[in-house]
Amino acid sequence: MKELLNTLNNNPDELRPIELAAQIHYDFAWIHPFEDGNGRMSRLLLNLILVRNGYPFVVIKSVDKPQYLRALREMDISGNFNPFLIYVSRCTEQTLDLYLMPEKPSKKEEFLSLAKLAKGTTYSAEYLSLLARKGRIDAIKEGKTWKSTKKTIDAYVEEQNGK
* Annotated active-site residue in 3, 16, 32, 61: 32
Active site residue 25: no
**How many other C-beta atoms are found inside a 10 Å radius of the C-beta of residue 25?**
23
Same domain (yes/no): 8, 59: yes
Same domain (yes/no): 118, 95: no
Burial of 121 (0-12, 13-18, 19+ CB in 10 A): middle
**Spatial strand order in the sheet of 140-142:** 112-113, 145-148, 140-142
Same domain (yes/no): 90, 139: no
Q: Domain tally for the chain?
A: 2
Same domain (yes/no): 125, 80: no
Question: Residue 58: inside a domain, yes or no?
Answer: yes
* pLDDT band, residue 134 (cuts 50/70/90): confident
Distance CA 75, CA 9 (A): 23
3-class DSSP state for residue 68?
helix
Same domain (yes/no): 85, 120: no
In the listed set 78, 100, 122, which residue is the last one of a domain according to the structure?
Answer: 100
Question: Residue 107: inside a domain, yes or no?
Answer: no
Domain span at 43: 2-100
Q: What is the pLDDT of residues 47-80, one digit of tens each?
A: 999 999 999 889 888 888 899 999 999 989 998 9
Q: What is the pLDDT of residues 25-42, one digit of tens each?
A: 999 999 999 999 998 999
